[in-house]
Amino acid sequence: MGLDLPEQMDPSVERTPFGNIFKLIKKLSEQRKSLLDERKKLDNTRWQLHAELKSVDSRLTELVEQRVALVQSLEQLSEKDDILQKDIEELDLQLDSVFKEGKKFEDFIRKLNTSEQYVENEPACEDFSPQVSSSICLHTFCGHSGGVLSLDFQPDLNVLATGSSDRRVLLWNFASNRLIAMLYGHTGWVHSVFFADHILATGSGDCTICLWDLSSFQKCVENEKVDICYDVDWQSNIHRRRQILRGHLAGVSTLHGDLSTRSLLSGSLDKTIAQWDMETGKQVTTMRGHEGGLFTVQAWQYAVVSGSSDRTIRLWDLRSRDCQRIFRGHMGSVHALQFDEAKLVSASSDHTVKLWDLRNGQCYEDLSLEGVSRALCFDEDLLVLSCDKNLYAYDIDTYQRQSRFQGHSSSVRDIILVDIGQEEMRDYGVQERFSTRTSSLCSYAKSKAVVSASLDGTVKVWSV
C-alpha cells in the first residue's frame, strides 16, 4: 500500500521506499539548517558592512569639516602673508634709505680726510647718467586707504580700475580724474584687476575672483554721483557683481585673458593656473607645474606665460594645457612679465629685468637695476619698468635708459601704458610744460602716458 503524498512532491521522492523516507527527511532538514546558517552569515556580513559604511560616513563628515578648517587656515595664512610682504617691503625701503645715508656719510668722511674743507649739501648717491631726463607727473589719483596693488584701463569707457589692500576696487573717469564708483565684495586684498571688454575681473587674497558687469557703465561715467556696489544683490542697473569664481585654495595674485578665446586665466599662491569660461563662469581646466606661488600670468591667443616664486618662467599651450618651455636664469621670484610673438620680458626680485627669445628660450639682454622690479610694460617704442619706488623708460631697440619717473614714496606694484589724445593732454593742463622739449617728444607725449600704482596708496599719470 502506497502513501498519499502531495501533488507537488518530487516524483523521485514518491518512488522512494517507505523505509528511506526518514533518511530523506533528515537530509532535507540538514540542508535547510545549512541554508539557514548561510543566511545568518549573510545577515552578519550585512550588519558589518552597514557598520563600516556608517563609520566611513562619520569619517567623511569629519574630513569635510577638516577640509573647511584647512581652507579657512589657508585664507588666514594668505592674509598674513600679504601683511608680512608689505612689512618686508617697507623694511627694504628703510634699509635702502639707511644704506644710502651710510654711503653719503662715508663719502663725506672720505672728503674730509682728503681735504679739510667742510662739504655741504652732498647729493644723494644715485647712479644716474646725465642724459637721463625726468618725466612730469600729470596727475595723482588719491582715494584708497591702503596700498594700490593693481590697475587696468578700459579705453571704450575711458575708465581706470584700481585694486588695493583696503579690499576695495575704485573706478575713475580717466578724462576728468574723478572717482565714479567703489566696488565692495572682497574680504582680502585685491591683487589684480583685469578688463575683458565690459566685464571687470578682480582677484583677491580671499581666494575668489569677482566678475563685475559694466555693460551700462556709461551712465555712471556721465553721472556726477559716486556709485557704490556692495554685493551680488545690489539693485543698480549701472553695474553689478555678475559672478563669483571659486576654485583656488590660496590667494589669487594675477589675472589675464584673451578676448579671442573668451577665456580668463588666474594665477594663485596655490601654485596653479586656472582657466575660466567668461560666459558661464565655469572652471575649464587647471595647469600645474610651478613649485612656488604664481605672481604673474600673461595670455596671447593660445599662448600663456607665467612667472613664479620658484624663479622660473613657463610657456604653456592653452589648447593642450601642456608646458612647452621653462625659462631659467632669474635668481629671485619673477614678479612681472609681458610677451609678444618674438620676445619675452621678465622682472625679478634679483634686481634684473631679462629679455628672452621666445623661439629658443635664450636670454639675450640683461638689465641690471638698483632695486627690485615688480612691474613692467612695453609697446613698439618703449619698455617701462619699476625699480622700488621709481620707474624707468628704456628704448625698446637699444635698451638705453631714456627717462625716470620719481614721485612715489613706496614700492610701485603695477604699470600700464595708456593711449591718450591731444584733448586729454590739454585737460591735464600740461601743454605749455612741453614747449621746451623736442618736437618728437611733444608729439609722443600727446599720444601716450604711463600710469603707475604704488603701495603709498596713490596712482600717478606720467608724461613719456
CA distances (Å), 38 to each of 24, 27, 32, 267, 309, in order? 21, 17, 10, 59, 63
- At residue 432, does pLDDT exceed 90? no
The CATH H-level superfamily of 135-463 is YVTN repeat-like/Quinoprotein amine dehydrogenase (2.130.10.10)
Q: Tell me the pLDDT band of 264, cut-offs 50, 70 and 90.
A: very high
Q: What is the dihedral of CA 334, 336, 339, 345, to 10 degrees?
A: -70
User: 265-313: per-residue pLDDT in tens?
Assistant: 999 999 999 999 988 889 999 999 999 999 999 998 889 999 999 999 9
d(CA 5, CA 70): 74
**Pairing mode of beta strands 148-154, 190-196:** unpaired
| CA 107, 109, 111, 114 torsion-angle sign | negative
pLDDT for the residue 443: 32
Cell match 644704506: residue?
99
Q: Tell me the pLDDT band of 331, cut-offs 50, 70 and 90.
A: very high
User: 5-25: per-residue pLDDT in tens?
Assistant: 445 555 555 555 666 888 888
- At residue 152, does pLDDT exceed 60? yes
d(CA 114, CA 94): 30
Q: Strand ranges (DSSP E) for 52-136?
A: 133-134
d(CA 298, CA 311): 16
Contact, 313 vs 346, CB < 8 A?
Answer: yes
Collapsed DSSP state (helix, strand, coil) of residue 226: coil
The pTM (predicted TM-score) of the whole model is 0.68
d(CA 68, CA 63): 9
Average pLDDT rounded to a whole number, residues 99-111: 57
Q: Strand ranges (DSSP E) for 106-189?
A: 133-134, 137-142, 148-154, 159-164, 169-173, 178-183
- At residue 177, does pLDDT exceed 80? yes
Q: Strand ranges (DSSP E) for 197-302?
A: 199-204, 208-213, 227-229, 240-246, 252-258, 263-268, 272-277, 283-288, 294-300
pLDDT for the residue 217: 67
Average pLDDT rounded to a whole number, residues 148-163: 95
Return the closest-CA partner of residue 103 out of 127, 122, 125, 126: 125
pLDDT for the residue 85: 64
d(CA 80, CA 89): 14
Of 231-245, 267-281, 343-357, 376-390, the least confident: 231-245
- At residue 99, does pLDDT exceed 60? no
- At residue 52, does pLDDT exceed 70? yes
Of 182-196, 342-356, 422-436, the least confident: 422-436
Average pLDDT rounded to a whole number, residues 238-249: 79
Return the closest-CA partner of residue 183 out of 165, 198, 202: 202
pLDDT for the residue 115: 44
Contact, 154 vs 420, CB < 8 A?
Answer: no
> Residue 277 pairs with which residues in a beta bridge?
263
Domain boundaries, given as residue ranges, for the chain: 23-116, 135-463
Q: Tell me the pLDDT band of 61, cut-offs 50, 70 and 90.
A: confident
d(CA 351, CA 444): 29
> Residue 322 pairs with which residues in a beta bridge?
317
Q: Tell me the pLDDT band of 233, cut-offs 50, 70 and 90.
A: very low
**Backbone angles phi and psi of 202, in degrees to 5:** -130, 130
User: 435-448: per-residue pLDDT in tens?
Assistant: 222 222 233 334 78
Q: Tell me the pLDDT band of 68, cut-offs 50, 70 and 90.
A: confident
Stated as kind and residue range, the H or E segment containing 62 is: helix 21-114
Cell of 33: 539548517
CA distances (Å), 199 to each of 3, 39, 163, 239, 330, in order? 94, 65, 15, 10, 34
pLDDT for the residue 436: 27
- CA triplet 142, 146, 150: central angle to 5 degrees? 80
pLDDT for the residue 399: 92
The 10 Å Cβ neighbour count of residue 435 is 7
CA distances (Å), 83 to each of 76, 269, 373, in order? 11, 15, 19
Specify the higher pLDDT residue, 393 or 72: 393
